[in-house]
Chains A and B, each alone.
Chain A
Amino acid sequence: MRKLQTLVAAAVAVILLAGCGGGAASPAASGDASTAPPAGSGETLVVYTNSNGEGRGEWLTAKAAEAGFKIEVVGAGGADATNKLIAEKNNPIADVAFGLNNMYFAQIKAEGALEPYDPAWAGEVDTALGDSGDGKAYWPLVKQAILLGYNSDKITADAAPQDWTDLWTKEEFKDRYERVTGLGTATAQLVFAGILTRYKDESGDLGVSDEGWKQVEQYFQNGSPAVAKTDLFARIAAGEVDLGQMPSSIIAEREKSFKVNVETVAPSVGVPLAVEQVALVKGTDKKEQAQKFIDWFGSADVQGAFAQQFNSMPVNKTAATKANPEVVEFFADVKQQDIDWDFVQENMGAWVEKIELEYMT
Chain B
Amino acid sequence: MSGAAVRNGGSVRSMVRSPFVLMVGAVLTWFIAAFLVWPNLNVLIATFFPDGSFSGRAAEKLFSSQRAMKSLGNSFLLALALSITVNVVGIFIVLVTHYFKIRGSRILFLGYATTFIYGGIVLAAGYKFIYGDKGIVTSLLLTVFPGMDPAWFSGFFAVLVVMTFATTTNHMLFVGNALKGVDYQTIEAARNLGASTWTILRRVVLPMLKPTLFAVTILSFLTGLGALSAPQVLGGREFQTITPMILTFANSPTSRDLAALLAVILGVSTILMLAVMSRFEKRGTYYSLSKVSSALQKQQISSPVANAAVHTVAYLLFALYTLPVVLIVLYSFADGAAIQTGQISPGSLTLDNYVRVLTQESGLRPFVISVVYSALATVIAVGGLLLVARLLQKYRNWVASVFEYLLHIPWILPSALLALGLIISYDHPNPLVGGAVLTGTTVILLIAFVTVKIPFTLRMLKASFASVNSSMEEAAAIMGAKTLYVFRRILLPIVLPAAAAIAALNFNSMLDDYDTAIFLAHPLVQPLGLVIKANTDGAEGVEGVANTFVYTVLLMVITGLTMYLVYGRSSRRRAGRKNSAAGASPDPATSPALVAAGTEPAAPVR
Contacts and interface: CB of A to CB of B under 8 A. Distances in A.
Contact of B258 (A5, A18, A353): A353
A19 interface: yes
Contact of B428 (A52, A91, A107, A357): A91
A30 B258 contact: no
Interface string A43-85: 0101000001110011001100000000010111101100110
Interface residues of A, number: 75
Given A15-B375, A72-B523, A257 B336 contact: yes
Contact of B254 (A94, A181, A350): A350
Most chain A Cβ neighbours within 10 Å, of B337, B493, B535, B543 = B337
Interface string B428-445: 100000000101101000
Contacts of A3: 577, 580
Nearest to A7: B573
B420 interface: yes
A231 B542 contact: yes
A147 B99 CA distance: 60
B233 A80 contact: no
Interface residues on B, range: 35 or more
B63 to A, nearest CB: 10
Contacts of B305: none
Interface in B351-388: 360-361, 365, 368-369, 371-373, 375-376, 379
B138 interface: no
A53 B440 contact: no
Most chain B Cβ neighbours within 10 Å, of A1, A22, A77, A253 = A1
A31 B427 contact: no
Contacts of B67: 356-358, 360-361
A19 B376 contact: yes
Nearest to A358: B65
A357 B538 contact: no
Contacts, number: 209
Nearest to A35: B524
A361 B414 CA distance: 23
A16 B375 CA distance: 9
Interface stretch (A130-138, A221-229, A292-300): A221-229
A267 B192 CA distance: 84
A87 B420 contact: yes
A27 B442 CA distance: 7
A229 B440 contact: no
Contact of B337 (A90, A227, A258): A258
A26 B534 contact: no
Contacts of B492: 8
A254 interface: yes
A39 interface: no
B523 A74 contact: yes
A230 interface: yes
Contacts of B373: 23
B308 interface: no
Interface string B522-533: 111110001001
Contacts of B379: 15-16, 19
Contacts of A31: 442, 522, 524-525
Given A15-B379, A234-B341, A33 B539 contact: no
A182 interface: yes
Given A247-B539, A357-B67, A26 B523 contact: no
A108 to B, nearest CB: 10
Interface in A1-17: 1, 3-5, 7-8, 15-16
A1 B573 CA distance: 12
B269 interface: no
B38 interface: no
B498 interface: no
A318 interface: no
B541 A1 contact: no
B255 interface: yes
A356 B539 contact: no
A352 B134 CA distance: 33
Contact of A5 (B232, B248, B493): B493
Contact of A349 (B252, B340, B375): B252
B144 to A, nearest CB: 23
Contacts of B518: 76, 80, 84
Nearest to A52: B534
A225 to B, nearest CB: 6
A288 to B, nearest CB: 19
Given A1-B585, A80-B251, A107-B253, A237 B368 contact: no
A30 B524 contact: yes
A91 B251 contact: no
A112 interface: no
A357 B496 contact: no
B249 A356 contact: yes
A157 interface: no
6 contacts: A5-B489, A15-B379, A26-B368, A33-B524, A90-B427, A234-B340
Given A1-B585, A23-B375, A230-B340, 4 more contacts: A75-B533, A229-B545, A349-B254, A353-B254
Interface of A: 1, 3-5, 7-8, 15-16, 18-20, 22-23, 26-27, 30-31, 33-34, 44, 46, 52-54, 57-58, 61-62, 72, 74-77, 79-80, 83-84, 86-88, 90-91, 93-94, 107, 181-184, 187, 225, 227-231, 234, 237-238, 247, 250, 253-254, 257-259, 349-350, 352-353, 356-358, 360-361
Top 9 closest A-B pairs, CB basis? A349-B254, A234-B340, A357-B65, A228-B232, A22-B372, A75-B534, A257-B542, A53-B538, A91-B427
